[in-house]
A and B are shown apart, each in its own frame.
Chain A
Amino acid sequence: MTFGEKQVAITGIGQSEIARPSSRSALLLTIDAILAAIEDAGLTPADIDGLTTWPGRMDSDPGFGPVGTTDIKEALGLKLNYFAGGKEAPAQFGAAINAIGAIAAGLARHVVVFRTVYEATTRKQTGAGTAFGTARVPDARFQWQLPMGAMSASNWTALYAQRHFHDYGTTREQMAQIPLNCRRNAALNPKAIYRTPLTLDDYMGARMISTPLCLYDCDVPVDGATAIIFSRADAAGDLRHAPIRLEAVGSALHGRDSWDQRADLTSMAAFDAAKMMWSRTDMKPSDIDTAQLYDGFTILTMLWLEALGFCGKGESGAFIEEGTRIALAGELPLNTSGGQLSEGRVHGYGYLHEACLQLRGTAGARQIAKPVNTAVVGTGGGPLASCMLLRND
C-alpha cells in the first residue's frame, strides 16, 4: 500500500527572526516566515492554495497562539482550497499532517504550514511565569493540574522525570547532556538566543524549577514564526530546491489523552506516534542520520529517543551519557540548531526547519559532516505527539 505522505514533499522553508522580544508584531513575524518560505520554494503567493497552523488563534493565550489562518488569509489575500487551524490535533505537527492529508486527498497543491509564538512579549507584558491566570479553569484537561499549583508543563514533565529516575536509575548528570549538547550546537547558530558555553558545573549548580528539572531543563520563550511548504510530489520537481520527501508520519494517540492518567508514566503519546510511523516504512532507527526531537523540557527528548527506538525503554540516560553519541560528529546528531533549550522555543517547527537545512546540506557552520539523507523529527510531550521521517533521495 502507498501511504498518502509518500505523495507529498517539502518544497520551501522560511523563518522570521527569533527574538526575546521582537519589535515586530506576531502577524508581521508570521508574514516574514511565510513570504520567505514561498520565495525559498520559488513559488508566488498565487500558487498557495492551502494553509494550516497549530494551535490556531487563541485569544485566551495570545503568546501561545497569536495568529490564525484567517489573519494570514486576509493579510496576504490568499485563494485557499483548504485551510485548518486548531489545537485538537496530535501536537504541533498536527497542522503538517492536516496539510499532508489535504494534499494526498487532492484538496490542495501547495500548502503553507506555519507556527507562530509570541511568548517573550506576552510574558514581559504580564510579568508572570505562566500563561494561566488566577481565573477559574474551564478547560477539561488543565482543571486536574492547575488547582494544585501545577501551573506549568515543567511540573507535569518533572513528574515523568522523577519516575524515570526512580525506575531506571537515570541521573541529572545524564540528563544534562541534552542541554549541554544544545548549547554546543547553538554556538554555531547565529540565530540562537543562548550561544555562550554551558558546562556541567553550570547545570548542576542551576536553580531548581521543579525537581529534578532545573532552569536549563526548560526551554526559552521567544517571539518567532516558522513556515514550511508542503506540496504535491508531482508538483515539486521543478522548484528551486530538490524536494524533501516524506517517508512516513506518526499521528497516533492510543493511550489516555491526559498528562497524568497514562498507564506508564514514562511512556507518552510519543510511543504511539513513533510506533505508527515505523509501521509505515521499511526503514529502521539505524537508517536515520539525524534526529530533531522536542526539547521543551529535557526529559521529553529522552522519552522521544526511547519512543523512536534509538535506545531501549529506560535506556536514554545511558544512550546520551558523555554526549558524544548525540553530538554534531556523533552517530545520531541531535537538535543541531540548539533546540528550544538554546535556539529558542519556536515550538515544534524549528526542528522541521532545521531537519530540512541539514537534508539540503545548507546548515552552515553546524552542518553535520557526514552525508545526511534521512532525518526524524518529533514534537510534543505528554498526550501530545507527532513525528515524521524525512529523506532527500
Chain B
Amino acid sequence: MARSKETLMLLLDVGPSMHPYLADVSKCMTTLIHRKLMLSKNDEVGVVYFGTTETDNELNKEMEGYHNIVVVEPIAVVSQDLAHRLENIPCGFGSSDFLDVIVVGCDMLMKKLGENKKGNKRLCLVTDAASPVREPSEGTVEDQVRNIAERMGEQGIKLDVVVVRVGQNFLINSTGQHQNDVLLDLFKLHTQAEIGIARTATSMLGIIRPRAVSPTTLYRGDFELTPDLRIKVWVYKKTSQEKLPTLKKYSNEAPASDSHATREVKIDTEYKSSDNPDVSVPPEQRTKAYKYGKNFIPISSSMEDSLKFKPEKGVKLKGFVKRSDIPRHYFLKESSIFLPEPGHQKSIVAVSALARAMKEHDYAAVVRCVWRQGQTNVVMGILLPFVSAQENVADGFYFNVIPFLDDMREFRFTSFSSMPESLQPSCEQQEAAYNLVRMLDLSPSEDEELLQPEQTINPVLQRFYYFLHLRSLNPEAKVPPLDESLRCIVEPDLLRLDENQYAINQFSQQLTLTPNIQENGKKSFWKGERRDGNVLQIKDEPAFMDVDMKNPGSVSFNSLASRKVEEIGSANPVADFEALMARRDSPEWVGKAIQGMKKMIYDLLDSAYNGNTYEKALACLISLRLGCVIQEEPLEFNFFLRDLKTKGSTIRLQDFWQQVMGKKITLISKDEAPDSNVGAAEAASFLTSEKLIAKKEEPADEIDEMEALLGGAMS
C-alpha cells in the first residue's frame, strides 16, 4: 500500500512548567519515531524545543524576535539515532510562546518543501499552554492567530496539539490557560487542527497520532434517496483496526555468518491428485466443489460467475427508521463516514439538512450499499447524523453495517423479572450496585472522560514496537513490561482516588459470590488435561459424556434428586451415583451410593478386557472423589484409593493405575474436606512416590505390554 510521505515538525515545550512531564513527552516522541521507522520509514521529522534558555533558529537570525526557541533537529528522514536523542529532553528555563514556535515550524516546513507545494505537512505541538503569548506590535493576538492559521490552511499544514494538563480538571484552569485554549481553538477554523487535552500520561500517548494514513475513499458517487433525488457523497473509513504487522517467516537454513541472506521462506502450495499423490494438478484442471451433505457438488467458475448475484454499484436509501429501531449492538463491523463531495455546495447543504433533521427528530437511515462495480454482494447499513460543531467542517453521516436475517441467531434468555426471589438483589444489594456505578464514574462531566478511545493507545502495539526497537539493538532483549503510563488500562485503581475503594468494598460485601468448587474443580481439571495433550477419550458412553463433561453444569443435584434412583446400574453409573448422592429423603443414600460406586469400580476393573472398561471406571472414580468431597466423606474415598493403589501394583491393573496417576487423582486432603486425615503434601506425594517405585520395579517388557494395552484403549 503506497502511503504518501509525511513531513512532521515536533514542537516541544520544555519550559519550567513542563518539567514534570518531560519524561512522558519523551516517551511519546520515541514511541512515535519507533512506529514511523517501521511503518513509514521515509517520513521526515524535524524537532524544535521552545521555552529553552537559549535561542537558535533561522527566523531569529533573519528578523529578530522568536526568542527561547532552539531548532535541535533539522528536517531529516527518521532514524533510530533521532529516537535515541529524544529519549532525554533537556529542561529549559525560558518562556514558552507557542505561537512563535508554530511560525518557526511552518517556516521550516516551507523552506524545506517549497511554498505552495503539495505534500503531507504536519505540526505536532506539545505544550501546557500556561505562559501567555507575546502581544504583537500591531493588531490583536486573535488577528495574528487567524493570519497564521489561514496561511497554514492555504499551505495545507495540519496541526496537532497536545495540551498537557495531567492531574488537572477543567475547573482549576487558570485564566491564562483558558485564553490560550481559546487561541488554539481558533486554529481549527482555518486549517485541519486537532486539539487534545491530556489529563493523564495515558491520554498523552493516545492523542499523538503515530502515523497519518492517507485518506482513500471507499466509494464516490450518488446517494440515491429517490430516483430523482441524488446527493453526491464520498465515503471514508472512520475506524479501521490497526493490527500487528504480519511478520515474515524466518528461515535459519543459511549460515548465521551470511549477512546477505534474505532469511525468507517461500510457501509452495500444490494440489495433489487423490489417486496419485505424486501428480500435481494444474489450476485449469481444478474445479471448486461445494459440500452438499456427503457429496461434493462441483460448480465450474464460469457457471458460478454467470449465476452470481451482481448488483449495480450505488448507494440507495431503503427508508428512515427511528434510531431506537436499530439497537446499538447490531453494529457489525468497523465504521465509515459519509461526507458530501468536497466543493459540491448543493450536496453539502443537502447532507446538512438531512443530518440536522435526523438529529432533531431522532431518525436513522437504512441504506443499501454496493461500493464497487462488480461487487457480488450488498451491504445493508445504517446512517446516523454527524452534525459538525465547526463551521468549516461539513456535516455528514456515520455509517455502520447492520446484519441480515442470515446473521442473526435469536435466543430467549430467562427474564430477570421472572427469576426466583432468591436470585433477586435485595434493597441493600441494589443500593451497593447503584453506588458502584455512581462512584466508578469515568465521565464525571461533559468535558472530562477518562480512557476515551480517541486518547487511548493500543498497549499491544505500543509494546510490540518498543520491543522491536529493543531487540533490534540487542537480539537477546526480553519483552518489556507494560508501559507504566498504560497500566491504568489494566488496573483501574490507578485511575481514581480512595473513595472508589469504599464503593467496591461495599459491593463485594453485599453481593456474596461463591465459586462452585464442583464446577471450578472440574473445569481446571479438564483444562489441565487438554494442555497435557492427554485427553480422555470417551467412546460409546454418551451418558457419561453428556452429564459429566460436555456440559458440566447442566445436571444439578436438585434436578437429579427428583428422580428416584435406587442403586447404581452399569449402564450409567456416574449419573446414578450423582442421583443417589442427591437424594434427601433418607441419610442412608449417601453411604449406599459410595459403597455401590466402589463395587461398580471393582466390577468394571474385574471385567476389563484389554482395558476396555478403564475409561468408565476412571470416570466413576472421578465422580466418586467429587461426591466424597462434597458430602465430606474423605475417609471413605482415601481408604478406597489406597486399596486401589495396592491392587494397582499388580501387573494386571498396573495400566489402570497408570491412568489414575495420569489424571492426578489423589487422596482428598484436609484443604478440600476438613475431616480428612491427610495433609496437602501427603496427598500430592501419594502419586509421585508410587511412580518412582513403579518405575523401578517395572521390567522393560511389561512396559511395552502396558503401552500396547493403553494404545488399544486410547486409539
**Are A and B co-members of a single complex?**
no
A interface residue numbers (CB < 8 A to B): none
Which residues of B line the A interface, CB within 8 A? Answer: none
